[in-house]
Structure 1
Amino acid sequence: MKKIKCMIVDDEPLAVSLLRNYVEKIPFLELVFSSENPVEALEFIQKNEVSLAFLDIQMPELSGINFMKIVGDKMKYILTTAYSEYALEGYEHNVIDYLLKPISFDRFNKSIQKVQERFSFNETNEPHHFFVKSSGQQHRIHFNEILYVESIKDYVNIKTAAHEYIVLDTLKSMENQLPENFTRVHKSFILNLNEIKSLGSKKVILNSGHEVPIGDMYKSNLLEKLK
């Protein structure tokens, strides 16, 4: 299971500290943001990807319920509060579970099991292939077969170990169709990260022996994804 990017939003510093400690114990959770200020959290969401929020319901500047109304279905939520009467209202939104303070690690862990089930379900229902038109025919290509995609003027070359598919499309369109293990490494290349054998300063060598150039402006993002 890939890591789930999560945030903690709670106006109580001790609650933030406790939840941060709990999150760090779960291998597939990646804490990308925590704050006592829900407005700061909204600003972070506008610029960054977050899939799960541990969200306090009762906060002075902006309640958790209103926070969810603003953000909508961009993420899922585990609600935290000292007041059980808010539970029913919370479940009207994209909520996985409800944690009543004080939160024990055992109860937290039960919520995380629900998170794991929900996100694993989503992953198994993601497509594993797409169809492209090349040489007058429709071809089904499995994502894990692709080594890289290269831009050639108005076309792209989808390279697999066995075939090349020349398709009338753009590299930007390909980026939007391919899963997260693909990333842009050059103005003309998208690479399957699972195919990397070795990484140099100017090029990537794939398991197949193919070499793909690395553009200077894409190198830092590539290194970040390989961590």
Structure 2
Amino acid sequence: MIYIAICDDQIHQIERIKKCIENMNLKEVNIYTFTDEKEMISFCKNKNRNFIFILDIVLQNKVSGIDIAKKINHLFEQPIVLFISNYLEKVTDIFEVDHCYFIYKPELERRLKDALEKAIQIYNNNSRTISFKSGMDTFVVPLSDIYSIERIKRYSLIKCKDHTYRVLDDFQALFPKLNGYFHQCHQCYIVNFMNVKEFNKKEFILKDHSYVPISRSRLKETEYSFQMFLKGL
């Protein structure tokens, strides 16, 4: 089941967005609509589910959709944010916060389908997990929680948001359990593109401010793969 929350202070715009989504004939989708961001956040928190949020950037009560997205990214584990606006000059502001897509409202009917399909792809990937043994215990971890994997001698270190797991599985054993967002950029490192904050020709800087090196022999392939990943967002 996919959960979508729409927040816009204009009822006719909400109905317009909702109609576009309904015309896509998506299966197992719940759509919730709000004109007040506080009501939306409270409702979604109580649902205890992952949501795709469709947010207007400029609301009449002078609340910024950018600020709402910052709260959402802080309060929710894996939110996916789509911004919509009548104002193209707001495009530069959206890079202050993690988001999936920006839609110019006059082009809503033409753009929403592609935006939502990409959001759903991320939504589904966020739901995928990996299981592995670390010591005597077996763990199940969302793939989206993994930042990188480092190979040190006989062990692989699976570095997650809040914990690092040491496993015996090598990269050959781990790769089939991963999704297309993971890439081996070094003989000893696998990076999760979804958790990359910055990229240069020497390393990736991740969202937790850690670094993943890129080997010279893998630079061209890594650069191409990362560009393809960005185009897919």
Q: Give the TM-score normalised by the residue count of structure 2.
A: 0.50
SS at structure 1 position matched to 2:33: strand
Q: Which runs of 5+ in 2 are unaligned?
A: 141-233
Residues 48-63 of structure 1: pairs in structure 2 closer than 5 A: 48=47, 49-61=49-61, 62-63=63-64
Matched-pair contact (CA < 8 Å) for 2:55–2:84: yes
SS at structure 2 position matched to 1:102: helix
With over 3 angstroms needed to count, the CA separation of the structure-2 counterparts of 1:101 and 1:29, relative to structure 1, is farther
Which structure is larger by alpha-carbon Rg, 1 or 2?
A: 1
CA distance in 1, matches of 2:106, 2:28: 21
Amino acid at match of 1:23: I
* Residue in 1 that maps onto 2:8: 10
Matched-pair contact (CA < 8 Å) for 1:7–1:34: yes
> 1:76 aligned to 2:75?
no
With over 3 angstroms needed to count, the CA separation of the structure-2 counterparts of 1:118 and 1:11, relative to structure 1, is same
CA distance in 2, matches of 1:31, 1:123: 17
Matched-pair contact (CA < 8 Å) for 1:132–1:140: yes
Q: Which runs of 5+ in 1 are unaligned?
A: 143-227
With over 3 angstroms needed to count, the CA separation of the structure-2 counterparts of 1:96 and 1:26, relative to structure 1, is farther
Q: Which of the residues 89, 111, 115 maps onto 1:107?
A: 111
Cα displacement (A) at 1:7: 0.4
With over 3 angstroms needed to count, the CA separation of the structure-2 counterparts of 1:81 and 1:29, relative to structure 1, is farther
With over 3 angstroms needed to count, the CA separation of the structure-2 counterparts of 1:108 and 1:44, relative to structure 1, is same
Matched-pair contact (CA < 8 Å) for 1:82–1:100: yes
CA distance in 2, matches of 1:70, 1:122: 19
Amino acid at match of 2:110: D
Instruction: Kindly indicate whether structure 1 or structure 2 has the higher relative contact order, using CA contacts under 8 Å at least 6 residues apart.
Output: 2
With over 3 angstroms needed to count, the CA separation of the structure-2 counterparts of 1:70 and 1:139, relative to structure 1, is closer
Cα displacement (A) at 1:105: 2.6
Where is the helix percentage greater, Structure 1 or Structure 2?
2
Instruction: State the Cα deviation string for residues 120-142 of structure 1 (Å, max 9, x = none).
Output: 43344x21x35499xxxx47599
CA distance in 2, matches of 1:86, 1:123: 31
Structure 1: which 4+ aligned runs deviate by more than 6 Å?
none
Matched-pair contact (CA < 8 Å) for 2:52–2:123: no
Q: What percentage of residue pairs aligned between the two structures are identical? A: 17
Amino acid at match of 2:103: L
CA distance in 1, matches of 2:95, 2:25: 24
Amino acid at match of 2:29: E
For the aligned residue pairs, the C-alpha RMSD in angstroms reads 2.7
SS at structure 1 position matched to 2:100: strand
Cα displacement (A) at 1:100: 0.5
